[in-house]
Amino acid sequence: MSTPIPNFIADAWQASAATEVLEVTDPAKAETIARVPLSSAAEVDLAVQAAAEAFPEWRRTPVTDRVQFLLKLKHEMESHFEELARSITIECGKTLAESRGEMRRAIENVETAAGAPALLQGQFSEDIASGIDELMIRQPLGVCACICPFNFPGMIPFWFMPYALACGNTYVVKPSERTPLTMQLIAGLIARTGLPKGVFNLVNGGREAVDALLDHPLVKAVSFVGSTPVAKHVYARAAANGKRAQCQGGAKNPLLVLPDADPESTTRIVADSGFGCAGQRCLAGSLVVTVGKARSWFTESIREAAASRVVGNGLDEQVQMGPVITSQSKARIEGLIGQAVNEGAKPLVDGRDPKIAGYERGYFVRPTILDEMNPNGDVVRTEIFGPVLGLIHVNTVDDAIAFVNRGAYGNMACIFTTSGASARKFRYEAEVGNVGVNIGVAAPMAFFPFSGARESFFGDLHGQGRHAIEFFTQTKVVIERWPKEWSRRF
């Protein structure tokens, strides 16, 4: 049995003393590729203490010097780009093209955070009263941490960590215990930048490590991305302990197809949204709401797109869709397909239990289309997190928007139309954080906040861009009076 992967604490790789160790599997082959320790609260404490010790010196380091480490990290990530992309595909299952896209967005966040000298600038007002000036400065918080999901192991830490460091905070990352390997590589790259000891730390673990971060008095802010029940737990516990928190949760993203939409591009984009990353994206399309006459052409064209998608090992460049993450996920997804059918849906394309040549043991579910989803059933409200598109048919755009706003989640909604007026109405009325207009995965660029609303987000400031700069800084307002009479004393 292989040695469990280490933690990275105070600029050193440290073997965990954890008694509980999980296997990390390559989901395409169902083979163990590593073992991950579930670190204890004491090990989390070591990482937090290392970060706390590094903080005073790091916050005093000029921001122009701090961002030099980010620029070196960008260079390291570019130089190891293919290795990082392969690592994501092997531990997570997505295709190499998808993994490359993921790493590109991670690097874009490093680039955006490297603009911190300008982003961190404060404000100054002269003579707010006679002879009195007022200024606002941004200062770092201290030790900050992020808790990550399995589905973007190389990108999601970068929604937060580069900004936190650029702002002068020190950091602890807790990767998903299902996909911890890409962050091992990245920690190695960070070590090569010469970042001072303790500024960045990585602790592997699960629930105990998360709760230890949430309870640790030296941790000032927590960023979480994962399922909604855990997001709520993290948000509540962090708040109860007086910490800042930003918690991104699950999703059930509706895509509206209007009768005037362009059939070819709409079908292609919707299929990529629903089946890309095997549906394991928080911005994956999950329900397609066709309006009026869109029903007939769209139902036929999406059936063909689902049936013809090439499924296999993501390392094969020809493959368009890889496996789901674990055998439990596969069983859960297939169970939900069955439940939807029991609730009245018609399986136009049924991807359950496929045979993928050469990968018979892998955790594959083929693209699935469930027509006529029961709008009053449970599955229509449940995040499936697999390659399953449910179809719902309504008569008007108003009905479709009302459907979007009845859903509990608010991560993303998209509209496909050639009508500017319909698109504008949708943009105005849809109660979601990320909106796509003829776009199937409305993933904000690094310089925009990765938004989300209702059951998909708990907090106010999001990851990425200016929101991250605000989240990772404490504003301080100074009001100054310097009467000129005093200068006569010298």
Stretch that binds ligand NAD, among 51-59, 206-214, 419-427, 474-482 (CB under 6 A): 206-214
Which member of 249, 312, 367, 410 binds ligand NAD (CB under 6 A)? 249
Structure tokens at 199: 């500024």
Among 48, 84, 221, 282, binds ligand NAD (CB under 6 A): 282
Least Å from the CB of residue 7 to ligand NAD = 14
Contacts of 336 (CB under 8 A, 6+ apart): 379, 382, 384, 386, 388
Q: Residues 206, 276, 386, 390: which binds ligand NAD (CB under 6 A)?
A: 206
Q: Which stretch binds ligand NAD (CB under 6 A): 62-70, 243-251, 391-399, 466-474?
A: 243-251
Q: What is the pattern of x (binds ligand NAD, CB under 6 A) and - over residues 326-365?
A: ----------------------------------------
Tokens of 177: 């215990």
Under the binding rule (CB under 6 A), the answer on residue 233 touching ligand NAD is yes
Q: How far apart, in whole angstroms, are the C-alpha atoms of residue 330 and residue 386?
A: 8
210 binds ligand NAD (CB under 6 A): yes
Q: Which residue is nearest to ligand NAD (CB)?
A: 226
> Would you count residue 150 as binding ligand NAD (CB under 6 A)?
yes
Residues 399-418 within binding reach of ligand NAD (CB under 6 A): 411
Closest listed residue to residue 273, CA positions, set 295, 249, 306 = 306
The answer to whether 147 contacts ligand NAD (rule: CB under 6 A) is: yes
From the list 143, 190, 202, 251, which residue makes contact with ligand NAD (rule: CB under 6 A)? 251
Q: Which stretch binds ligand NAD (CB under 6 A): 18-26, 55-63, 215-223, 246-254?
A: 246-254
When the beta carbons of 151 and 422 are compared against ligand NAD, the nearer one is 151
Cα distance between residue 213 and residue 225, in whole Å: 15
Which residue, 225 or 441, has its beta carbon nearer to ligand NAD?
225
Nearest to ligand NAD of 299, 456 (CB atom): 456
How far are the Cα atoms of 102, 180, 412 from residue 94, in angstroms, in the given order? 10, 15, 21
Torsion of CA 301, 302, 307, 313, to 10 degrees: 130
Least Cβ distance, residue 278 to ligand NAD (angstroms): 12
Which range in 61-69, 205-213, 291-299, 413-421 contacts ligand NAD by CB under 6 A? 205-213
Q: Rounded CA gap, 414 and 411, in Å?
A: 11
Tell me the closest approach of the beta carbon of residue 19 to ligand NAD, in angstroms. 17
Q: Which of 26, 102, 177, 470 forms a contact with ligand NAD (CB under 6 A)?
A: 177
| Cβ-based neighbours of 421, under 8 Å, separated by 6 or more | none
Report yes or no: 249 and 234 within 8 Å, Cβ to Cβ: no
- Smallest distance from ligand NAD to CB 223, Å: 11
Task: Please report whether residue 182 would count as binding ligand NAD according to CB under 6 A.
Answer: no
Stretch that binds ligand NAD, among 42-50, 64-72, 220-228, 352-360 (CB under 6 A): 220-228
Q: Determine how β-strand 285-291 pairs with β-strand 434-437.
A: unpaired
Angle formed by the axes of helices 397-406 and 420-429, nearest 10° = 20
Find the shortest distance in angstroms from Cβ 150 to ligand NAD: 4
282 belongs to the catalytic site: yes
Give least dist CB 39 to ligand NAD, A: 11
From the list 124-132, 147-155, 388-396, 441-449, the region that binds ligand NAD by CB under 6 A is: 147-155
User: Which residue among the candidates 146, 167, 282, 414 is catalytic per the annotation?
Assistant: 282
Among 456, 468, 471, 472, binds ligand NAD (CB under 6 A): 456
Query: Cβ 277 to ligand NAD, closest distance in Å?
Result: 10
Rounded (10°) angle between helices 181-192 and 81-92? 160
Q: Which residues contact 109 (CB under 8 A, 6 or more apart)?
A: 155, 158, 159, 162, 163, 446, 464
Contact with ligand NAD (CB under 6 A) among 275, 298, 385, 472: 385
Token pair 């602890």 in the structure block, residue = 172
Indicate which single residue of 386, 436, 452, 459 sits in contact with ligand NAD (rule: CB under 6 A).
Answer: 452
Per CB under 6 A, the segment of 107-115, 126-134, 247-255, 261-269 that binds ligand NAD is: 247-255
323 binds ligand NAD (CB under 6 A): no
Give residues in contact with ligand NAD (CB under 6 A).
147-152, 174, 176-177, 206-207, 210-211, 225-227, 230, 233, 248-251, 282, 383, 385, 411, 450, 452, 456
Report the catalytic residues: 282
